[in-house]
Structure 1
């Protein structure tokens, strides 16, 4: 009876935590505390499993702790610890270990996919309501989009990407309900295309290319045929999907110079990255420790937007939003110099070396890497939670794949 009660409490806390994470609720911190308390109070039941996991991945966790510690030491030296990001960094480590007590990875996957379906359902209902009540329907751009989708489009797109990969994983390991997982992956991809998340569509296409070239067990002719089918699918997708066609500025491909000129006036990240990188070319920039303070970066970005957007139709958008660097690697280099960027790259490098033999964990890792190229995950609560959550999935699924291979 005690065991049943313990499992019921654990499952309830697990569902609550993942649901709050997927829906981006601020009170996910309370759920994290609840799961951590449960984890610690039942540690004697999970000690062997947790110890084995930590020992098997100790280099990765050591580098993650070194990365977090370095940021705190750097912030202390530059008297920058009052910044919001330092309150989020402990959550990064907490979210990376909070689910290590779960014995069956499938339990996490089922809950995540269920919550993701609910999130898509809520967003789909909001879109339908918007369509029926507005005279001008658009989801290409506008301040109404993130509220309508429930979660900000970049983060929703990333979660859909992860959901698709998890469906493929479940399709591979389970004979039952294969049609369901296949349908669900197509459903998530269709929604991803519909909401026009460019970065994640590109990320999935690159992962498909990676699979066909390096992981697909087939002869050369079948690989060539698969790549041909992929190429035709990409062409049709970008030719006949109006949302993607407009958001990717397909009509701008008349020349490369014209493309970049158009993109700079349509995609904020192009100008954001130009501004952020320009700081590293100034004589005042110190590569060893960067600019030192978030306040300094924010001030210089604001000045750059003021100067570089005079002929840009998004000028008001830039000056109101005052975007951060939208690239975790670029931010860590500009802010904390070689030390910060080296530890982050080392973290990803160790993971690549560990999981490269298996496609799904490698695909999850590359999806996380790609997302860090377009967002500052460590500056946002949902970002740090997703980073830790996906890290857990990568290591758990790698462990399962390794176990199956050793049995086979």
Structure 2
């Protein structure tokens, strides 16, 4: 089961094209191999990972330019996150949000360009690139509270799971901070399939100790 989960996670991460998830995944793999492998094997694995990443960036030029823009400070995410607050402020619907129907039907997304109309009407149909912020826009403070309550119950359960499950949980949550995961097929799979799987007894600390 663990191998299946790891393969599914790896495929989902590659298809997500999310920079933060790529970085987190590499860090998690590095930590995992550091704990499990002897020093020489660990160094060899890191070298292989570096080679694979280099080839991946050369082949996937779009991903390379995404990282390049982030380093140069040209990423539009900061504008998207800032304008998400402005969308709610302009609609004066802090508690309940503007509603999912209005959000999609009227294209009240947080992206706008100067001279292209009102602040609350997006020209390009971009989402906020943050699941908590999308909940805030569509469902207001109430939606954010519901999301936090759901995460709280996940946290209660994940404390009793092994480090592998905890690292996957951290990856999915971190992914949701910089992406609207429910707007992506692979994001929905991460949340609805992988999270319940890692909460099973197969991934509990007690089971791990027995094995």
TM-score, normalised via structure 2 length: 0.67
For 2:154 and 2:54, the matched residues in 1 are separated by 27
CA distance in 1, matches of 2:55, 2:69: 12
2:208 paired residue number: 404
- The structural deviation recorded for 1:188 is 7.0
* More helix per residue: 1
- Taking the aligned partners of 2:55 and 2:201, their CA distance within structure 1 comes to 27
Q: Distance in 2 between matches of 1:273 and 1:189?
A: 34
Q: For this pair of structures, how many residues does the alignment match?
A: 198
Structure 1 position 337, deviation (Å)? 1.9
Distance in 2 between the 1:369 and 1:397 partners?
A: 21
| Residue ranges of structure 2 left out of the alignment (5+ in a row) | 59-64
Is this contact kept in 2: 1:355–1:398, CA < 8 A?
Answer: no
Q: Residue 247 of structure 1 aligns with which residue?
A: 70
Whether the 8 Å contact between 2:16 and 2:186 is mirrored in structure 1 is: no
Corresponding position: 1:290 with 2:97: yes
**In the alignment, structure 1 residue 267 sits paired with structure 2 residue 130:** no
CA-to-aligned-CA distance 1:44-94 (integer Å, 9 cap, x gap): xxxxxxxxxxxxxxxxxxxxxxxxxxxxxxxxxxxxxxxxxxxxxxxxxxx
Which residue does 1:394 correspond to in 2? 198
CA distance in 1, matches of 2:143, 2:132: 9
**1:193–1:171 Cα change, 3 Å:** same
Deviation at 1:244, TM superposition (A): 5.2
Moved over 6 A (4+): none
Q: CA RMSD in A?
A: 4.4
Question: Is the radius of gyration larger for structure 1 or structure 2?
Answer: 1
Show the 5 A alignment for 1:4-403.
105-109=1-5, 111-112=7-8, 116=11, 151=15, 153-154=17-18, 158=21, 161-162=24-25, 165=28, 179=41, 183=45, 187=49, 191=53, 195=57, 247-249=70-72, 263=73, 266-282=74-90, 284-296=91-103, 299-301=107-109, 305-307=112-114, 319=123, 321-356=124-159, 358-396=162-200, 399-403=203-207
